[in-house]
Structure 1
Amino acid sequence: MIVLETERLRLRTISVDDAAFYLELTNDPAWIKNIGDKGLRTVDEARESLLNGPIEMQQRLGFSLYAVERKEDHTALGLCGLIKRDSLEDVDMGYAFLPQFRGKGYAREAAAGVLKYGKDNLNLKRLAAITSPENSDSYLLLEELGFKLDKILVLKGETRQTKLYSYHF
C-alpha cells in the first residue's frame, strides 16, 4: 500500500517480499555502526523480523517504517517512517538508506514527507527522533528539518549514548 509520495519517491508499507532488501540494509556497515546489529543473516530471518517488527506495528498502530522507492524505476532505496518504541514517550521517525543512495537528498525528501504525513494524517503534535552522537549525517538532517536536540541519554536496554531530538508541530 502506498502511504505517501514526494516529488521523486514513493513510500509504501513494507512486506515480506522486501526481506532480501531488508537483509541487505540491516547488514550494511553503517546500519550496524549507527543503529545496531540485528543479527539477521538469512532472508528467512529478515522475513521473520519484518513480520514481528514493521508489519506488526503497521497492523497494530496504523504506521511503521516504510519502504522508500524511486518512482521512476521502483528501486528500493531505504526505509523511512514512524516507530513507537517502548523506550520513548513519543512516536519517533527513523530512516536508513543503502550506501549507493546516500548523499542524493532522498533521506531528506522522505523524512520531510513523513513529517507532513505525521502532522496531517496522524494528527501528531510532537515527534521524536534518535541518532547516534557520532552519526553527523543523521543529526544534521534532523536539525535541517527543524528537530531540536532535547538531551543525550542511554535508552532502556541499551549501553551506548543516544541523541534524542523532538519536533513540535
Structure 2
Amino acid sequence: MISRRRTRLETHRCNLTRLQQSDYQAVKTLYGNEQVRTYLGGAIPEEHALNKFLDILQRSETDSYYWTVRLKISNEFIGLVSLEQHVDGQDTEISYELLPHSWGHGYAKEAVAQVLTYAFNELNLNRVIAETQTANHSSCKLLERVGMKLDRKIMRYDAEQALYGIDRI
C-alpha cells in the first residue's frame, strides 16, 4: 500500500480516527466481547489483549491502516475498521468490528463505505477484498450493501469463509 495517511475520515454520523495508543481501553472492549468475536475465533483473553493491540498499533505505523469509529454526536467509541494485507499476501483486505449496541443502525456501512472510498481515491488501490464466515449473515449482507461481490468460498480457520471483492470503478 502507498504510505499516504490521513489521520481522520468522516461519515455522516461517524468520525474515523487513526488508531492511537490512547485507544487501548476502548479497543479492549471489542476484544473481550463474545458477540463481537463470535466469528473471529472468540473473545481474546485480557492477558493477550495488550499484545494484540500493540501489534496492530505497530502495523498501523507501517503497512496497515486502523481507524477507531466514534459517533459524532457523543464521541462514543463503537468499533474499528482496517485496511491491511490479506492472509493471501496479495490483496488488501477491509475488516471491521463494531460493538453490539451499534449494530443495525447503519454505522458499519457508513464506515466501511468511507474506507473503501479512501482506498480507491487516495491510496489508488485497484481492488479490496473482505473475508467473513458464511455463517455471519449480517456481515455478508453488509459487504453486499457496500457493493462487494462474492468471489468464492473456502475453508479456513475450521469454518467456511466467504471472500468478497470490489474493484475500483
1:21 corresponds to? 26
2:163 corresponds to? 164
| Contact map agreement 1:11 1:110 (CA 8 A) in 2 | yes
1:77 corresponds to? 78
| TM superposition outliers: structure 1 runs of 4+ over 6 Å | none
Identity in percent: 28
| Contact map agreement 1:9 1:70 (CA 8 A) in 2 | yes
Residue 159 of structure 2: SS of its match in structure 1?
Answer: coil
More helix as a share of residues? 1
| Alignment TM-score, normalising by the size of structure 2 | 0.88
For structure 2, the residue ranges without an aligned partner over 5 or more in a row are 1-5
1:47 corresponds to? 50
* Higher deviation after alignment, 103-112 or 30-39: 30-39
CA gap of 1:52–1:14, structure 2 versus 1, over 3 A, is same
Residue 7 of structure 1: SS of its match in structure 2?
Answer: coil
**Map of 1:28-43 to 2, 5 A cutoff?**
28-37=33-42, 39-42=44-47
Distance apart, 1:38 and its partner CA: 5.7
Distance apart, 1:2 and its partner CA: 3.3
What per-residue deviation string (whole Å, max 9, x for no partner) do you get for residues 27-61 of structure 1? 2222322111363314xx433212112x1222112
1:56 corresponds to? 58
More strand as a share of residues? 2
Distance apart, 1:70 and its partner CA: 1.0
| Contact map agreement 2:34 2:42 (CA 8 A) in 1 | no
| Contact map agreement 2:34 2:43 (CA 8 A) in 1 | no
State the distance in 2 between where 1:41 and 1:7 align.
Answer: 33
1:135 corresponds to? 136
Residue 32 of structure 1: SS of its match in structure 2?
Answer: coil
What per-residue deviation string (whole Å, max 9, x for no partner) do you get for residues 103-139 of structure 1? 1110000011001000111001000001111111111
State the distance in 2 between where 1:84 and 1:161 align.
Answer: 20
For structure 1, the residue ranges without an aligned partner over 5 or more in a row are none
CA gap of 1:24–1:74, structure 2 versus 1, over 3 A, is same
Distance apart, 1:65 and its partner CA: 2.4
| Contact map agreement 1:23 1:40 (CA 8 A) in 2 | no
The aligned length equals 163
